[in-house]
Structure 1
Amino acid sequence: MNYSKPRLRTVNVQRYVTPLREGGSLPAIAEADDGFLYVLKFRGAGQGARALIAELIGGEIARACGLKVPEIVFANLDEAFGRTEPDEEIQDLLKASVGLNLALHYLSGAITFDASVVNIDHKLASKIVWLDCLLTNVDRTPRNTNMLMWHKELWLIDHGAALYFHHSWQNWEEAAKKPFLQIKDHVLLQRATLLDEVDAEFRTILTDEVIRDIVNLVPDEWLTGELAFETPQHYRDAYAHFLITRIAHSDFFVKGAQNAAEAVI
């Protein structure tokens, strides 16, 4: 398979359609200047730019692994955009999010994945569990699967809760080598019976080059105002180091997931 360096388009938000009142992040459906609808994630929301960074990195790694993820784009929000918004909370969010945000193509007509209704094959389940172990994604549980069924195919959405180490950057290098204990709550854990096979496959796909190319998509303006590192590139280097190290030690999180699955049988 020929490798193609990932690239993200940039769109300009033209119309705020409706809020999606999920958790504290208040994403919204918005229309862009290319005529498409997007689920817009705001840098001014609760977790700030970190959630957008996790969304970008997690989504593009999933795509590199062949999993289905809606197209991710950069979304520019003009300063004048929120002036006519009557809802004060939304207006504040729009004002705090002027500039570059992130958006995912809106999958019109998609329905929330329900594990009690749809049986996902073991290979696909193993791919998703492996991915979430890599990303330390705490948000793929039966209560909130963050997966959609669209045209009879499974699509992954919302990786904003992944890479949670970056909320403090404490002991992040050590964390890269540890199992992912929260995998015990994963909605697909019991169907992930092919983790060793997937591990061998994904370690081949996710080369250092692939990881660095994805991480380098993160814009400078999402990496300023922090204190852990001196420059945006130092932050990108740290994200890449975490992921590359974690892939090199994937046997730890694979075994951890297998043990968690056995513990609940």
Structure 2
Amino acid sequence: MSFPALPVLPVLQADCGDCFALCCVALPFAKSNDFAVNKPAGTPCANLREDFRCGIHTQLRDKGFQGCTVFDCFGAGQQVSQVTFGGRDWRTDTGTARQMFEVFPVMRQLHELLFYVAEALTLPDAAPVHGDLRRALTETEEWTRADAQALAALDVGALRERINTLLLKTSELVRAKVPGRKKNHRGADLMGARLSGAKLRGANLRGAYLIAADLSRADLRTADLIGADFRDADLRGADLRNAVFLTQPQLNAARGNPQTQIPPTLTRPTHWT
């Protein structure tokens, strides 16, 4: 069976130099362990400079803005700034502000979906659904090039639901190749759980709450980690090679060390000791 060539995807990694600091303006955040202050959606962060750069970028964690170091737009910021709005920024072209801030969260979801689908297409064991995945990739990529009005009207939730069905099938096909019985912790509350050295190879951890969990030296190879919350989770010495749908933000939110093994496509966070 032959498939059409994959579309040329937008960059799925943030490039803040080509973005008008949309994550610092469009999105809200609440005072918590992740953010030092409250900020409503559509209001620039107090730390944002006139040149769209962060005034405390090198001190974010020290200043109580750990959440900023974890967030990743998957390249949606520059796509909205440079493609959807053609390089018009919300400060000099104030008429674009409201719609730009409305479109950014939609684009972020589209880029995240592209990231997952593109990964699924690299997995040989998911070959039975590659055809549907390619069609989903093409459709989603086309949406990233739509105009602002169309993006604002898009039912991105329905699109996510359809694609998630394919991602779930991908996960099942890949994890089925792991020998033995696999643990199912989908959506489980594992906050603070003591899972040091746990054998979680091929486990289903989709949407699991792993906040502050001890996963040191745990075997997470080929585990489905889509949507798992790793905030402050201990991944020191853990093995995440071939983990399915692991993202950079998840690693950024966790704690690790030089012994933590991660997929070659991801980057070891600078705050890991």
The answer to whether the superposition gives a TM-score over 0.5 is no
Bigger fraction of residues in strand = 1
TM-score by length of 2: 0.26
Larger RCO: 1 or 2 (CA < 8 Å, sep 6+)? 1
